[in-house]
Amino acid sequence: MTDQTPDRDGAAVLQRQVHLTADLLRSLQESMHRLRNAAEELREQLETTGGGEVTGARTQISRLEGLIRDCQKVEKVIAEQSTEFARMLKSGHELDLHAARAAVERGLSRLRAALAPELLLG
């Protein structure tokens, strides 16, 4: 086993996690879209059937409109995140865990040096 194996394993795990998260975002986006469409259809039915005149129907229509707006906001965020994940996957973005570890070790060394200059003995 080489030093690179844990890094490659970590990158593979991260890549799988990115794929799983992208799939989850797609599923959530589809669910939100269906929910928004159902709320819009219900609102139209209430407005068309004269439900606006029935006691409480106006409140229900207002709540549905609020739900629709909330769905649209969530759909927008999900679309942005999905686009970001798709961009990462398309670019073949992988973390270089070895380089990240080296950078952390350099930072820790500088921190130790700043805290205890006597540690820099050659």
pLDDT at 71: 85
User: How confident is the model over 35-76, as pLDDT tens digits?
Assistant: 888 888 888 888 787 655 666 777 888 888 888 888 888 888
Higher pLDDT, 63 or 122: 63
pTM, 2 dp: 0.53
Higher pLDDT, 64 or 96: 64
71-79: which pairs have CB atoms within 8 A and are 24 or more residues apart? Answer: 71/32, 71/33, 71/35, 71/36, 71/39, 72/36, 74/28, 74/32, 75/29, 75/32, 75/33, 75/36, 78/25, 78/28, 78/29, 78/32, 79/29
User: How confident is the model over 2-39, as pLDDT tens digits?
Assistant: 454 555 676 677 778 777 887 888 888 888 888 888 88
User: How confident is the model over 72-91, as pLDDT tens digits?
Assistant: 888 888 888 877 777 776 76
